[in-house]
Amino acid sequence: MIETALKALFILLYATFVGFMFMGIIRIVTARIHRRVGPPIYQPILDTIKLLSKKSNITHGLIYDFGILYAVGATILAVMFIPLGSIGVLRAYGDLILITFLLEIPMLGIMFAAMSSGNPYAGIGAQRALLTLLAIQVPLGFAIVALAEFYGTFSTYEIVMAQQTMGWSIFHFPLLLAAIAYDLVLQAMFGKEPFDIMIAPGEISLGPMVEFGGKHMGLLQIQHAIALFAETLFFANIFLGGGVVTAFSSSILNTIAGLAVLLVKQVAVLLIATFMGAIFPRFTIDQAAKFYWKWPTIIAALGAVLASL
Partner 1 sequence: MVDWRLYEPLINFARKRSMWIVAFCTGCGGIEMPPLMTSRYDLERFGMMPNPAPRMADLFLITGYVTPKTLKRIIITYEMQPDPKYVLAHGSCPLNGGIYWDAYNAIKHLDKYIPVDVAIAGCMPRPEAVMDGIKKIMDLIETGKADGWKRYKENYEYYKKNQDELFGEGWREKTARRWIPWLMGREKKREEE
Question: How many positions of this chain bind partner 1 (CB under 8 A)?
Answer: 33
> Would you count residue 281 as binding partner 1 (CB under 8 A)?
no
> Would you count residue 38 as binding partner 1 (CB under 8 A)?
yes
283 sits in the region (left: phi over 0; alpha: psi -120 to 50; else beta) called beta
Least distance between partner 1 and beta carbon 215 (Å):
9
Least distance between partner 1 and beta carbon 44 (Å):
9
Distance CA 26, CA 14 (A): 18
Least distance between partner 1 and beta carbon 217 (Å):
5
The smaller minimum CB distance to partner 1, of residues 53 and 251, is found at: 53
Binding residue for partner 1 (CB under 8 A) from 4, 5, 9, 57?
57
> Would you count residue 55 as binding partner 1 (CB under 8 A)?
yes
Judged by CB under 8 A, the stretch of 29-37, 72-80, 82-90, 149-157 that binds partner 1 is: 29-37
In one letter, which amino acid is 99? I
Judged by CB under 8 A, the stretch of 28-36, 93-101, 235-243, 266-274 that binds partner 1 is: 28-36
Binding residue for partner 1 (CB under 8 A) from 1, 2, 3, 35?
35
Tell me the residue ranges of DSSP E strands in the chain: none
Cβ contacts of residue 83 below 8 Å, gap of 6+? 91, 94, 156, 157, 160, 237, 242
Distance CA 137, CA 121 (A): 25
* The dihedral formed by the CA atoms of 225, 148, 243 and 27, expressed in degrees to the nearest 10: -30
Binding mask 99-138 for partner 1 (x = CB under 8 A): ---------------------x------------------
Distance CA 136, CA 131 (A): 9
Distance CA 183, CA 275 (A): 13
Neighbours of 263 (CB within 10 A): 19
Which residues sit opposite 95 in a β-bridge? 155
> Would you count residue 50 as binding partner 1 (CB under 8 A)?
yes
Binding residue for partner 1 (CB under 8 A) from 20, 212, 234, 239?
212
Least distance between partner 1 and beta carbon 17 (Å):
16
309 exposed, middle or buried (CB, 10 Å; 0-12, 13-18, 19+)? exposed
Least distance between partner 1 and beta carbon 204 (Å):
9
Least distance between partner 1 and beta carbon 56 (Å):
4
The smaller minimum CB distance to partner 1, of residues 118 and 167, is found at: 118
Cβ contacts of residue 212 below 8 Å, gap of 6+? 68, 113, 114, 220
> Would you count residue 141 as binding partner 1 (CB under 8 A)?
no
Judged by CB under 8 A, the stretch of 93-101, 172-180, 210-218, 238-246 that binds partner 1 is: 210-218
Distance CA 227, CA 76 (A): 8
Judged by CB under 8 A, the stretch of 31-39, 136-144, 169-177, 282-290 that binds partner 1 is: 31-39
Q: Which helix (H) or strand (E) holds 66?
A: helix 62-81
* Cβ-contact 297, 142 below 8 angstroms: yes
Least distance between partner 1 and beta carbon 108 (Å):
21
Contacting positions for partner 1 (CB under 8 A): 27, 31, 34-40, 43, 46-47, 49-51, 53-58, 120, 201-202, 205-206, 209-214, 217
